[in-house]
Amino acid sequence: MKVLIVNGPNLNLLGTREPEIYGSTSMESCLEKLRSEFPSYELDYYQSNIEGEMINRLQEDDFDAVVINPGAYTHYSYAIADCLKNIRKPKIEVHISNIYKREEFRQKSVTAASTDAVLSGFGMDGYRLALLSLKK
């Protein structure tokens, strides 16, 4: 199974960006652990700070499932929500922090309704939990 993991803006800074919120694990380290734990999955990672580039990547349709952390786009990108709505494959939204314990504007996800499930507040382990759920 080929799983596309897509991260939105500023998530290329994981490990150094606000470690009190996002932890100190880099995305590279997380991906290394995921590839070790899920050797039967082909994990394709994509990160962009640009909304349109994320949509273009999602529309390539060369994957079996999507795990997406839209970052700040979670709260206002109807374009990403519409793109996700048109993908007829498993889609899981992941948030490292618990968005419901954050600022009020972060507590609303406009993209969540276009996914099959949402994981929020599990730290980097949310990516692993998303992949576990795809095994079913």
Note the pLDDT of residue 46.
98
Strand-pairing partners, residue 3, are: 43, 65
Task: Please confirm, yes or no, whether 76 is among the known catalytic residues.
Answer: no
Task: Please confirm, yes or no, whether 78 is among the known catalytic residues.
Answer: no
Mean pLDDT within 19-35: 88
Strand-pairing partners, residue 62, are: none
The whole-model pTM stands at 0.92
Hey, what are 105's tokens? 């504007």
Note the pLDDT of residue 54.
98
- The answer to whether 50 is annotated as binding is no
Mean pLDDT within 13-42: 88
Q: What does the DSSP 8-state code read for residue 120?
A: E
Q: Does 103 score more than 80 pLDDT?
A: no
Contact yes or no for 70/94 (Cβ under 8 A): no
Note the pLDDT of residue 15.
76
Structural domains of the chain ordered from first start: 2-134 (3.40.50.9100)
Q: Which residue in the list 73, 78, 95, 127 is annotated as catalytic?
A: 95
Note the pLDDT of residue 118.
97
- Give Cβ neighbours of residue 4 (< 8 Å, ≥ 6 apart): 44, 46, 57, 58, 62, 63, 65, 66, 67
DSSP sequence for 26-89:
-HHHHHHHHHHH-TTSEEEEEE-S-HHHHHHHHTT---SEEEEE-GGGGGT-HHHHHHHHT--S
- The answer to whether 106 is annotated as binding is yes
Residue 99 to residue 103: CA distance in whole angstroms:
8
**Confidence category of residue 96, pLDDT binned at 50, 70, 90:** very high
- The answer to whether 97 is annotated as binding is yes
- The answer to whether 75 is annotated as binding is yes
